[in-house]
Amino acid sequence: MPSHWTDRRVVITGLGVVTPLGNNLPTLWTHLLAGKSGITRITRFDPAEFDTQIAAEVKDFDASEVFPSPKDVRRADRFALFAVHAASQALKDSGLNLDAVNRDDIGVFVGSGIGGLHTTEQQHLVLLNKGPRRMSPFVIPMLILNMASGLISMFYKLRGPNLATCTACATSSHAMGEAWRTILMGDAQVMLAGGSEATITQFGIGGFCAMKAMSTRNHEPERASRPFDRDRDGFVMGEGAGVLVLEELKHAQARGAKIYGELIGYGNSADANHMTVPDPDGDGAARCMRMALRNARINPSEVDYINAHGTSTPLGDSSETKAIKTVFGDHTRRLAVSSTKSATGHMLGAAGAVEMAICCKAIETQTVPPTLNLDHPGPECDLDYVPHTARAMPVNTVINNSFGFGGHNASLVVRKFVA
C-alpha cells in the first residue's frame, strides 16, 4: 500500500437502499431479522410460459418521492430511478449539508450489471411494431448503465470523480472498493458508491432461464432461495439499489457525522476460468479475500462475520465455502457466515452495496442476519451459516463477498469504528 495513503481513513456515514424487503434500510433490516422473504410469483408480466415464474420484485416503489416531475421519471429507466432514490436516502442519512461543502470534492461511483433492460425491451418492441421513427429520443441515455451515476451527480450537482462499474454481480462492491481507493488517494473527500439493477423483465427472466441458472421452485417462492442447502437448484432474481456515503475520516469528524463503520480493505481478482462458472476450488475468491485482508492489515482470525455471495447455485456455494476454508484455516469454525440473498433474492449489480449496508447494521446492532431455508446443508457446505434465525453476537470486523459472471471477484472489509 503506498505510504501516502496511511494518513487517510475512510468511514461509512450514510446508507440508502431500495429492495424487495423494503424501500428503506429500517424496513429491510426489520424484515431480515424476522426471517421474512421478499420472493413471490412474478407480477410484472404473466410468467406462465417461463420455467422460472418467481422473483424478488421491488414493491410499492414511488419515484415521485425524489424526482420533481413525471417527465423526469419517464426519462429514466427503472434501474436509474432506484439508484437516485437510494442515493437520496444515503445523503439524508449522512446528514451531509451539500451547501456547506465543496461539491468538486464529492464523487459518484454507481454501476449496474446490465443497465436499462426495461428500456431495451420496450423500445425494441416499438422498433419492431411501429418502426424506427417512433422510438424515444431518450432510448440510448435511458439504457446505458452509466446513467445512474450520471443522474445522481446531476441531481445533486456533485462534480467530483464519476464513473460506473460493470462487473456483473460484483459491480457495486467494485464501485465501493474503487471509491475507497479514490478517497485514500486524496482525489475526493466524499464518495457516493453502490449499484442498481432492474432486470425482472421477460427478456431478463427468459435469458437466465435459457442458462438454466435460476430456481424453478415455483410452487413455494419464499423457499426457493436456499444458499448452501442440499436441495438448492439455482438463484432467484431480485432487483433494487444500494448506495453508501463513503467519507474521509477527518472530513466526517469535522462535521460530527455518525459513523457506521470504517472501510479498511478491498480485494479484486479474476477466476480466469469460465464465462459463467466459478473456479470449482474457489481459488479466485480466496485470492480476493486474501488481498482484502492484506490491504486491511489484519489477520484472518480478526474477522467475525462473512456476508457471503451465497447465491443458492450448486457450484457457487460450494466453491465459496472452499475459498473461505482456504483463507481462514482453523479460524473457519469460529466464523459466522450467512447469505441474505435467501431473503432478498439476488440483486445482481446492486447486491454488494445492499449487503454492505446490511453488514453495517450487523456491526451497529451486534446481530448477524440469518440464512433462510437452510434445512439440510449440502455435504460440501459445512460452515456455520446462521440458519433460519438471526444471532446476537460480537460483530466487529466483517467481510462482504461479491462474485460475478466473467470471473470477477470483489471482497470488502468493514470494521467497527475506533477513533
What is the set of active-site residues?
A: 169, 309, 346
Cell numbers that stand for 304 in this block? 467475525
**What count of other Cβ atoms lies within 10 Å of the Cβ of residue 3?**
6
Conformational region of residue 54, where left means phi above 0, alpha means psi within -120 to 50, and beta covers everything else: beta
Name the amino acid, one letter, at 101.
V
Alpha-helical (H) ranges within 216-345 are: 249-254, 283-296, 314-328, 341-344
Question: For the chain, how many residues are written?
Answer: 419
Pairing of strands 162-163, 106-111: parallel
Cell numbers that stand for 47 in this block? 410468467
CA–CA separation, 276 vs 271, rounded Å?
A: 10
CB 311 within 8 A of CB 347: no
CA–CA separation, 209 vs 49, rounded Å?
A: 11
Please name every residue paired with 307 in a beta bridge, in sequence order, or none if there are none: 338, 400
Cell numbers that stand for 33 in this block? 431479522
CB 163 within 8 A of CB 136: no
Phi, psi of 370 (to 5 degrees): -90, 165
